[in-house]
Structure formats: C-alpha cells, structure tokens
Structure 1
Amino acid sequence: MSQFRLNRLFNPSSGRALDVAVDHGFFGEPSFVRGIEDMDAVVATLVRANPDAIQLTLGQARILQSIPGKLKPALVLRTDVANVYGNPLDDHIFSHHVPHAVEEAVRLDAVAICANLMDLPGRAEIREANILSIMALREQATRFNMPLMIEPLVMQDNAKAGGGYMVDGDTDRIVALVRQAKELGADLIKADPTDDISDYSKVIAVAGDVPVLVRGGGRVDDRTLLERTVAVLDQGASGIVYGRNVVQHPKPAGITAALMAVLHRGESVENALAIVEGSEG
C-alpha cells in the first residue's frame, strides 16, 4: 500500500508534515538558484534541521539518500520540468515528466513523487501536458504503490505578472483545480494559499480525504509565513511544502525548527518567532 510510504512522511503524533522543496534548479530560472548553489551544503544543513521531508529532483536526490543512517528526512521526488517561470518567457513553453519516474523513485527510496497541474491563462496546452503526465504517472504509481502528490498551480495572466507566471490566489480557481487533482487520483495535494486565507477551508473541503499540504511560494517575512501556516493548519491542512522561505532564509535551521514546532507541537506564532531569533542558523 502507498500508505506504507506515507507513514514515513507524516509525523506519527501530529499527523502533519513539513516538506522542504529544493527542486528549483530543475526549472532553469536563474533567480530560483540563489542560496542553493551548493546543493551538498544545502542538503547537509537541512538534514541537520531535520524536517519531515526534502523535495529534490532526480539529479540531486542521491545527495540526501547517500547520507548514512535512518534518522534523516524522507525524500519526495519532483518528476516534471517546465519553463513557465522565466522573465521574459521563452517563445515556446513546455512541461514534461521524467521517463520511468516512478521506477526511479522506487530505486531512490522516495516516499512520494510530485507533479504539476498548472492553470495558465491562455495556455491550455500546458494543462493538457500536465494531465497527460499525471495520467501516465498515476498508472505507474499504482503499480509500484508510490504516493502521487499533485501540485495544482493557478497562475496569473503573464501581462499582470510583468513577465513570468505568478501565483493567483483566487479561491474559486484554486478550489476547481484542487478538485481536478483529486479527480485525477492524487494521494496528496500541494496547493497554494488563497488570497483570503479564511477561505482555505473550502480548499480542504473539496480535497475530501486527500491530505492537503500548502505551498509557500515566494519569500515573505517570518511573521507572515508563520501566521499563514497557523491559519491553514487551523482550517485542516495536513502540512506545508516550503522552499525559498526556508532555503533562502538567513537562518534555515532556525525557521525549520520554528515551523516544526508549529506543526507538531502547536506552538504559537510568538513562540515560533522566538525560536528563529534564538537559533544560530
């Protein structure tokens, strides 16, 4: 059963998970690589901080899995690559999944794979490519009992974003895309926060029995990040998938400890901020 792998992702006491995404280099956008140029050092830092999981690509996953011992974060494997984040965008945009991605995930001892489901205004072909990838991955994920995390990404029109697609927090669009992810067979859903964070219960409701982990998106200040985290957890989110807000933080270990305290011990925002302040890195 895929639940066997998920048992290594979710904390047994809280039932929640922090997955730190460090798959940004896959997308070929220069700004995404800032702070994660030395992936050996980044992964070593995160392993010491000990989140529940680290999300990596096929080419970087071996850094984590070559570290000896049982007490390290689980691996979530990113399986698809796209070029939708450029500023300006390329003339031709695409999205493809890695061939034999699920077999690679099994060989790498991943607890789940992750694939996009993007809603880009005026670019239905990207959503079609994502759906085709998800259906192919779903077939193999079922065969190998590999949990499939689908990442619904509702994007703004490129002109509004000033070049390069940016997240759209429209509740109705997020709810519709999350529902499509569930219909396509997601075992986990990684979804953006809504602009009106009090709406997030609608996202949780439409996902039904599929656990929802909330994306972090671009860098925000610590208080905003922690307040948003508490808000989505209070509405039923099963965890968070944060990337740049951890790896580009001046104290990545400190913010990881603070987030884990909120997730697994129910610490307040103020206590979590104190953890960051008192940390060394």
Structure 2
Amino acid sequence: MTLFRLNRLFNPESGRALDVAVDHGFFGEPSFITGIENMDDVVNTLVKANPDAIQLTLGQARLLQSKPGKAKPSLVLRTDVANVYGNPLDTHIFSHHFPHAIEEAVRLDAVAVCVNLMQLPGRPEIREACIQSIMALRAEATKYNMPLMIEPLVMQDNSTAGGYMVDGDTDKIVALVRQARELGADLIKADPTDNVADYHRVVEVAGDIPVLVRGGGRVDDRTLLERTVAVLEQGASGIVYGRNVVQHPNPAGITAALMAVLHSGASVDEALQLVGGAA
C-alpha cells in the first residue's frame, strides 16, 4: 500500500518529521490543559513556528485546516479518548475511538491518524479496548489509504507514579512496539527508553515502519535536545513532542531548534542558540 499522504509529513531531504501534539484536552484531565487553554492562540503560534505536523483532535482540527495556503503544518488526527491518566484512577476506566474516525480524517485532509495501544499494570481490559479500536481503524484506514499511527504506551502504576508516567523498560517497550507492527501500524509513536542507547532495539523491532519518539513531561532545553539527537542516532525517524513545545516560554524558538536538529543535523549547542533567537 502506497501512503501518499506521508509525503506531506516527512521532510523530503532529511526523511524525518516533527509532530507537535496538542491533543491533551481530549482526555479530560485538568492539569493537561495548562498553557493550552486558548487553542486559537496555540495553533496560531505553532503555524508560524511551522513544524512538520500538528496533532489535534476532531474538535480542534479546524483551527489548523481553516488557515489558507499550502505551506502550513500537516494535520495528524487523534482518534481515541481514554480516562487512564488520573491519580487516583476512576473506578471505571475506558478507551474508545470515535465513530467514523477515518472518514473524518479524510474530510479534514489529515496525513495520518493516531491511536493508543496502552499497557497499564493490572488493567488488561484497557489493552484489549485499544486493540479492538486499532483493528476497527485498520480496516477503515486500508479502505481510504489513510496512514495509521499506533502509539504503544507502557505506563507505570498511577498510584505510585501518578498519571501519564512512562515505564521506560526497554523490554516492555520493544514488546508493545512489536505488537503495534503486528496489528498493522504504518507509523509508530513510541516511548523513549530509560537507557537511550537501547533505542535501536525499538527501531529494529519496528522494521521498516518509521518510529517517532514521544516527548513525555517537561524537561530543560539541553536535556530535550540531547535526547533528541540521541534517539535520531539510534535510528528514529522523528519526534512527537507536546508539552516541551507548547508549554515552552518560546514555542517558536524550541521548534526552530528541534527542526534544525532533525533536518539540518545541527548540534545541541547550535540548536540551543536558536531557542532564544526565534520570535
């Protein structure tokens, strides 16, 4: 299957991509919308910063796609919603994809759709729900030739680590990434491993499926850029960062720095000079 839409996601020279995820409000957690309360402003800022893509939900996608011109970032559409990030967890937890998600993505001119494959300690029903969503989306994605990005998400126990905390165990991540490939992923958005030198194992098990690395929680600029360089050296095809861009004091600056690393091979020190230089 030829996925022509991906030609609008990956940079033609570097073959890499920066997708800025701003789909956090979908999950209903109050802390997730810190810094992104006004989505019009957020999207306007990101469009000017011009990453390769912006990851949005059905309700927010129009803020990007209504903008005129053909040079704006591409749209990656989030298709599923869950309540697995609270601490403590709700007594009933769920994960669902929304109806007609692939048709909506086609209408919105998305370059790909994104769906979770979550592994929570002691909650196999959530992984099952994710697999059911993936299988339903895969069938429709094939029909419409829409690239399917699967997000294997290995989580720590919420009661000890709090919501949204990644388990960076390499073996667990490798196993879940392998399952994502087996389920028919066209793209994989995977957690960073605790030991970044292990990340080639994640890329290797994904085979010819491009791997984009999740950003996780906020870190300082040097740490973020060093980690980015490291995962690229391990074979990653790009990054999907959210809070490290949209909650940054200078989103345009950190976007410029990340794009320089991805597409121009800039060093960490060279990229750091761009953080304060972009308005």
Q: TM-score range by the shorter chain?
A: over 0.9
C-alpha deviations, 1:63-117, integer Å up to 9, x for none? 1000000010000000000011112221111100010000000000000000000
Which residue in 1 is equivalent to 2:107? 107
Runs of 4+ with deviation above 4 angstroms: none
Q: Distance in 2 between matches of 1:238 and 1:171?
A: 18
Q: 1:76 to 1:2 in 2, by over 3 A?
A: farther
SS in structure 1 at match of 2:151: strand
Q: 1:103 to 1:276 in 2, by over 3 A?
A: same
Q: Distance in 2 between matches of 1:208 and 1:97?
A: 26
Q: Distance in 1 between matches of 2:84 and 2:248?
A: 24
1:244 has 2:240 as partner: no
- Check conservation: 1:79, 1:97, Cα contact below 8 A: yes
Q: Distance in 2 between matches of 1:136 and 1:203?
A: 25
1:254 has 2:244 as partner: no
Give the CA deviation at 1:246. Answer: 0.2
Give the CA deviation at 1:192. Answer: 0.6
SS in structure 1 at match of 2:8: coil
SS in structure 1 at match of 2:96: strand
Give the CA deviation at 1:278. Answer: 2.3
Amino acid at match of 1:29: E
1:96 has 2:78 as partner: no
Which residue in 2 is equivalent to 1:143? 143
C-alpha deviations, 1:8-31, integer Å up to 9, x for none? 000000000000000000000111
Q: Distance in 1 between matches of 2:197 and 2:38?
A: 38
Q: What does 1:171-186 align with in structure 2 at a 5 Å threshold? A: 171-186=170-185
Amino acid at match of 1:68: P
1:65 has 2:55 as partner: no
Q: Distance in 1 between matches of 2:11 and 2:49?
A: 15
Which residue in 1 is equivalent to 2:165? 166
Which residue in 1 is equivalent to 2:223? 224
1:268 has 2:270 as partner: no
- Check conservation: 1:157, 1:165, Cα contact below 8 A: no
Which residue in 2 is equivalent to 1:20? 20
Aligned-pair Cα RMSD in Å: 0.8
1:190 has 2:189 as partner: yes
SS in structure 1 at match of 2:257: helix
- Check conservation: 2:213, 2:239, Cα contact below 8 A: yes
C-alpha deviations, 1:36-74, integer Å up to 9, x for none? 111011000000000000000000001100000001000
- Check conservation: 2:85, 2:158, Cα contact below 8 A: no
Q: Distance in 2 between matches of 1:76 and 1:278?
A: 28
Give unpaired runs (5+ residues) of structure 1. Answer: none
User: Equivalent pairs: percent with the same residue?
Assistant: 82
SS in structure 1 at match of 2:149: strand
Q: Distance in 1 between matches of 2:63 and 2:175?
A: 37
- Check conservation: 1:2, 1:146, Cα contact below 8 A: no
SS in structure 2 at match of 1:214: strand
Which residue in 1 is equivalent to 2:204? 205
Amino acid at match of 2:119: D
- Check conservation: 1:2, 1:147, Cα contact below 8 A: no
- Check conservation: 1:189, 1:212, Cα contact below 8 A: yes
SS in structure 1 at match of 2:3: helix
Q: Distance in 1 between matches of 2:28 and 2:215?
A: 19
